[in-house]
Chains A and B, each alone.
With several copies, the nearest count.
Chain A
Amino acid sequence: MASFWEYANPVKFMRLSGWLMPLSAVLAAVLIVTGLLWGFFGTPDDYRQGSTVKIIFLHVPAALMAINAWAMMLVASLIWLIRRHHVSALAAKAAAPIGATMTLIALITGAIWGQPMWGTWWAWDPRLTSFLILFLFYLGYIALWSAIEDPDTAADLTSVLCLVGSVFAVLSRYAALFWNQGLHQGASLSVAPGTRMDWSYKAPLYLCMIGFGLMFLALVLAGTRTEIRARRARALLTRERVRA
């Protein structure tokens, strides 16, 4: 019986991702393009915020993926530490730059949004603050990966960092809330009664969010494939050097 763990074998993983990656990439492109076009041209301007509100179709999916990417890295790190599956460590490595980019997109689109809304590019709102801190976590994680040469050592150390960092990221979030009850609006898509957002916005927004999710999947798969190829090249080089 094929178990999930078999895909931790690089060869199997390459075979699987060989078709999964382009598939999700195409799907992601379709969903995002549709969602954005619909969002930009098919929705009415907000009565308060005018057309600036439409940046939400980039801002919110990016913010969502920024957090999910870290969660995925946490799971992958645990798998590496417990079961030592190399693909898992490499997937965590591949996810980090993508997550960092998503965080940056959320921050930048937020800043563009904030300029007309709050009259400032940046405010020390708890949500923005915790995202800035998340961005720093990503930077540290990526820097640690790139500073260490031996891949297994790097995987071990970054995994520990990811575990400890997750705990402190959650703590920081509470600290930021404690520090300042901010300007930023709360969860806008809560299923709780009294949902504030109209369906004409929600539908394209959902499309974009699913699209961003698939795009993330495609990028992580692509990144992991690159890392696997790099490891393969390394193994071949080692073999060469031993022969020489």
Chain B
Amino acid sequence: MIALLVRDLRLAFRAGGGFGLGLGFFLILAVLVPLGVGPDPQVLGVIAPGILWVGALLACLLSLDRIFALDHEDGSLELLATSPIPLEGVVAVKAFAHWITTGLPLALAAPVLAILLNLAGPGYLTLIASLLLGTPALSMIGAFGAALTVGLKRGGLLMSLLVLPLYVPTLVFGAQAVTRAAQGLDGSTPLLLLAGITAGSVALLPFAAAFALRINLR
């Protein structure tokens, strides 16, 4: 299992490995939105929490199809499925690797981009906390979506369509926590709910995803 994690991380960091894909996208969004919406700091401040969370979510979505698709194309997935590691473990490890290369950097980079979007002062800590709590759920849910669509050529859109509604609660609670904190209100309830979603997904979805993978391989 550790070998798999190490390999996935190594692949991500190798040239062209897609590390930073999510981060880059996040940055792009934070730059484009002010260009599109206009420079009014008032407006930007109001929409900042929402835009940052939407950006984080899209950044995850984009890097998702890489979780299994590449391994499927070059035949590694079949070999992994016939290896001694249980497929549930493979799914969990791959989702974890995805989180390390996408969710974690996003959470750490978010405060910098929040400055670009003029987020109000009290929101910063909650922003990091909510992303750290919420992105694991995004990776795990995404791994489930990727497992459902792995055999399909260009399953990208289909996966986005499947995963998107599943992401809604995470997005709402995450953005709400930051919005409330930025307004000086208490954001701990949505944070707790966020933690609940993450715990639930991490506990249950690997089984659903492994089931889907097994079906897709045959």
Contact = CB atoms under 8 A, between A and B. Distances in A.
Nearest to A142: B161
Contacts of A169: 165
Given A122-B115, A160-B212, A178 B190 contact: yes
Contacts of A144: 148-149, 158, 162
A165 B216 contact: no
B39 A168 contact: no
B89 interface: no
B41 interface: yes
A232 to B, nearest CB: 22
A175 B212 contact: no
Given A125-B39, A175-B168, A148 B152 contact: yes
Nearest to A132: B31
Interface in A141-189: 143-144, 146-149, 153, 156-157, 160-161, 163-165, 168-169, 171-172, 174-176, 178-180, 182
15 contacts: A120-B118, A123-B41, A140-B162, A140-B165, A143-B161, A146-B15, A147-B16, A147-B152, A153-B215, A156-B215, A157-B148, A165-B165, A172-B168, A179-B172, A179-B176
Task: Give the 4 A-B CB pairs with smallest separation, nearest first.
Answer: A124-B39, A175-B172, A171-B169, A175-B169
Given A148-B152, A160-B211, A165-B165, 12 more contacts: A120-B118, A123-B39, A132-B31, A136-B164, A144-B149, A144-B162, A147-B152, A153-B215, A164-B208, A172-B169, A178-B172, A178-B173
Interface of B: 15-16, 31, 34-35, 38-39, 41, 44, 115-116, 118, 144, 148-149, 151-152, 155, 158, 161-162, 164-166, 168-169, 172-173, 176, 190, 193, 197, 205, 208, 211-212, 215-216, 218
